[in-house]
Structure 1
Amino acid sequence: MSKIMHKNAKIYDGYKSFQYLEPGVDYKQFKLAKEIGRVPEYAYPVSEEEEAVVQDIFNEENIISMHEHTFIAPEDLSQFYEFRRQGRDYTAFEALSQSGLDVIFENFMDGTAMVTSLAGWKWSDVIHDLGIRMSDIAHQDMVIKAERLSDLYRAKKEGKIAFVCALESSTMIENELDRLDILYGFGVRTMGIVYSEANQLGSGLREPNDSGLSVFGKQAVQRMNKLGITIDVSHSGDKTALDTIETSEKPVTINHAGARGLWNTKRMKPDDVMIACAEKGGVIAIEAAPHSTVTEKNPRHNIESFMEHFEYVANLVGIDHVAFGPDTLFGDHVELHNVLSGQLSIKSSQASNLQRVEYVEGLENPAECFPNIVRWLVHHGYNREQIRKVIGTNILRVLEATWAK
């Protein structure tokens, strides 16, 4: 793991998820993947002088990931459905303490919340998932549940990490607007309109026909604006995304995606959607989940292909409207995609001619990503103000505009 030994090191006391319970009595125990050292350590190559700049950035700036899943997957992924059935996810606290991250948009695993149904996104399952995860977080001190902007700023000062509770879809609200209020009360501060399959609000990117944002979807957008929930369209179909951006009175995000101009799949966003997002004051965060942000130049997924998407978007919409949402987790992400390919829209959104990888070197998990992203930016000549924007302040600007004061 690429450790950042910064002055504001996270205060970690060795806590492990659910250590206040008795395994085998209170819950079934599964052997989990390694948080640290699952794959060979990779540090993007920089000079000693450049590394000193990287260290200063981690010491002094707010480092924000706009999209992650900080849970630890089971080592044996054939057990994944049974593992998810109990609705108990384990957070990689030790690895996160070494990540250098100050704020993480935690997206849980609610597309695979399978307590009562294999379909995911059921209301009761999502509430179960959120509640148990929040119970675990409430028993430790390093991670704080961020509900106001002040929580984000104090996290770094206190040597802690702020978790922004996020959901990738609004499917679970069905046709009940007040469920948005309930989720806000649970701490949810950003939500996607739709995952890849259509719901009551609109069409997902997997659908062959995109009819755009529904009447109910427009009502939901208005309610989110009033509540202070940041709206995301990463998994929305193109028309639904454009309708959402137009309907919203506040900026909208694309918190984990890439550029379709570099890789022609529905999972990537076309230029017109990204331009509309930026013109509304929003931000586009680049994702790194395996086999997503590849390019013709770099068909093998790695940090170079990932950053090629970053530069494409920055050149398209400007440096003020791009950030990073790697969308990683702890465990074998590639095999997890294989296991879930029947449940989620993963395979349908990937091109067939990419070069398969076992993992994305340099972007393996939430603890490894940002040290290498910042090293890449420093090595390629980005100045301090540009780096400050793309690793934090661009996101904070959007939250200032969308969250309740």
Structure 2
Amino acid sequence: MNDKNYDGYQSFQYLEAGKHYKSFQLADKGRHKKTHAIALTIDQQKKLETIFNYYPIISLRDHGFIVPKKQDDILPYCRQLHTIYDYEGLAQSGIDVIFENFMDGIAIVTSNNGLKWDDVIYTLGMRFCDISKQHTVYLAKTWNDLIEAKSKRKIALLPSLEAASILENEVDRVDILYGLGIRCMGITYNESNTLGSGLTEKNDGGLTKFGRKVIERMNVLGMAIDISHCGDQTSLDVIKASSDPVFITHAGARGVWDTPRMKSDEVLKACAEKGGIIGVCAAPNTTLSPKSPNKHTIDSVMEHFEYLVDLVGINHVGLGPDTFFGDHVGLQNAFDSILAISESHSGQHFEESPYVLGLENPTEAMENMLRWLLVKNYSVQDIAKVSGENALVALERILDKEN
């Protein structure tokens, strides 16, 4: 497999734990790496190697973030700037490009509720500092930065934000964020902000006047727009207002699992018709299926994938697992009251799965999704589209603006 260069660097190794920042016991290494692999025939294995070695592998949403082992440590851990990043785990993933939001939604350095300007800027600055000390990942700003990742045997991180709540009512902050390297930004998270309605709101008033100004500015600058956590009407308004394709980086289909976190057929079709890309999410307890409501499996995740392919065509589908290292459900529970996570999963009865076997972290998630496609006899050409080529087509239109 096309593993990346890794020189042994550990997050913040230039500092002394306990002296310069508080050290927490992190998730067991067993939950950092490959715990389960879908079996392939010899021919399928050769095809998998071909895909990883010669085609772009792009995760529309994943994270290098490592969660503390104890759930009680999660909030204190996130209240400091020195959260740990797993460069080694990412190096073993074979991924070339990651839409990485650096967990800005759970940055609570100055605020108890997160998604504040100071919290996000502090988090980005500290993470970028740590990144500057190693040689496995790099920050991508242009389309060429993305396509060079494979030949460099490095991972290009496309700096992203979960939501635009930090803009408040200042449209010029979009330019500031662009200047700091942000190249993709969500419009809302689960709750509303000054741009529009989040997906947990009972009444979706759509994109606001300020939101339209932000969309225009993002289009002018060349910043990708993400509507993964927007309400339906806000999503449709954003797609209509944008002159560029719009991304749904990590979601699923409401036609499979009827919860607010999933996207309606109307939104999915509108996104595709504008040239947008829809990434299939594998975060625990999101892309479930009536066929297995009490167990989140890769089969239920990929049921959403096949529904999307049937609905909008394979040229508009990608993969956005939305995984990190450690207990994803523990983090969901810790931040539930702040980010309205359980509300976004509401509407269907299910028993909470502690994880999705084989899709627990970035080291294994993308590879197993591609293995599943090979077992289901998808062609190398079609797998290459969803593993990265579709995203590159849309990103070339967005990122490379002529001034």
Alignment TM-score, normalising by the size of structure 1: 0.96
The alignment partner of 1:342 has SS state of: helix
Residue in structure 2 matching 1:84, options 78, 87, 104: 78
The answer for the alignment partner of 1:190 in structure 2 is 184
User: What CA distance in whole angstroms lies between the structure 2 residues aligned with 1:385 and 1:378?
Assistant: 11
- Residues 1:296 and 2:290 are matched in the alignment: yes
Deviation at 1:69, TM superposition (A): 2.0
Which residue type is aligned with residue 14 of structure 1? G
Paired residue for 1:338, among 333, 340, 347? 333
- Are 2:74 and 1:71 equivalent residues in the alignment? no
Q: Partner of 1:3 in structure 2?
A: none
Confirm or deny: 8 A CA contact 2:282 2:323 kept in the other structure: yes
Gaps of 5+ in 2: none
Q: 1:236 to 1:262 in 2, by over 3 A?
A: same
Which AA in structure 2 matches 1:288?
A: A
Deviation at 1:39, TM superposition (A): 8.3
Shift of 1:86: 1.0
Q: 2:384 aligns with which of 382, 385, 388?
A: 388
Aligned pairs for 1:321-332 within 5 A: 321-332=316-327
Paired position in structure 1 for 2:304:
309
The letter of the residue matching 2:298 is I
Q: Which residue of 1 aligns with 2:395?
A: 399
Would the aligned equivalents of 1:35 and 1:72 in 2 still touch at CA under 8 Å? no
SS of residue matched to 2:362: coil
**Aligned twin of 2:93:** 99
Aligned to 2:278: 284
Is the 1:256–1:286 contact (alpha carbons within 8 Å) kept by the matching residues of 2? yes
Is residue 370 from structure 1 mapped to residue 359 from structure 2 by the alignment? Answer: no
Q: Deviations over 1:308-349 (max 9, x none)?
A: 000000100000000010111111111211111111121112
For 1:361, the equivalent position in structure 2 comes to: 357
> Is the Cα contact below 8 Å between 2:34 and 2:364 reproduced in 1?
no
Residue of structure 1 in register with 2:216 after alignment:
222
Question: What whole-Å deviation, never above 9, does each CA across 1:331-384 have from its counterpart, x for those lacking one?
Answer: 111121111111112111224522322210011011111111111111111111
**What letter corresponds to residue 364 of structure 2 in structure 1?**
E
Contact 1:35 1:95 in 2 (8 A): no
Secondary structure of the residue aligned to 2:183 is: strand
Aligned with 2:337: secondary structure? coil
Correspondence 1:3-402 to 2 at 5 A:
6=1, 8-37=2-31, 41-299=35-293, 300-351=295-346, 352-402=348-398
- Give the aligned residue type for 1:46: L
C-alpha displacement of 1:37: 4.2
Please give the per-residue CA displacement for 1:83-129, whole angstroms capped at 9, x wherever unaligned: 11112221111111110111111111111111111110110110000
Q: What amino acid is aligned across from residue 129 of structure 2 in structure 1?
A: S
Partner Cα distance (1:304, 1:71) in 2: 25
Conservation of the 8 A alpha-carbon contact between 1:112 and 1:118: no
Identity %: 50
Worse-superposed segment, 317-326 or 68-77: 68-77
CA distance in 1, matches of 2:33, 2:317: 29
Q: Tell me the distance in 1 between the aligned counterparts of 2:400 and 2:93.
A: 29
Cα deviation 1:65-85 (Å, max 9, x = unaligned): 001122001111201111111
Question: Segments of 4+ in structure 1 off by > 2 A?
Answer: 34-40
- Equivalent-residue separation in structure 1 for 2:120 and 2:9 (angstroms): 25
Greater Cα shift, 344-353 or 161-170: 344-353
Q: Is the 8 A contact 2:277 2:390 kept in 1?
A: yes
Q: Give TM-score scaled by structure 2 length.
A: 0.97
Query: Are the counterparts in 1 of residues 32 and 363 from structure 2 also a CA contact under 8 Å?
Result: no
| Runs of at least 5 residues in structure 1 that lack an aligned partner in the other structure | 1-5
What CA RMSD, in Å, does the superposition of the two structures yield over aligned residues?
1.2
- How far the C-alpha of 1:262 sits from its partner, in A, is 0.5
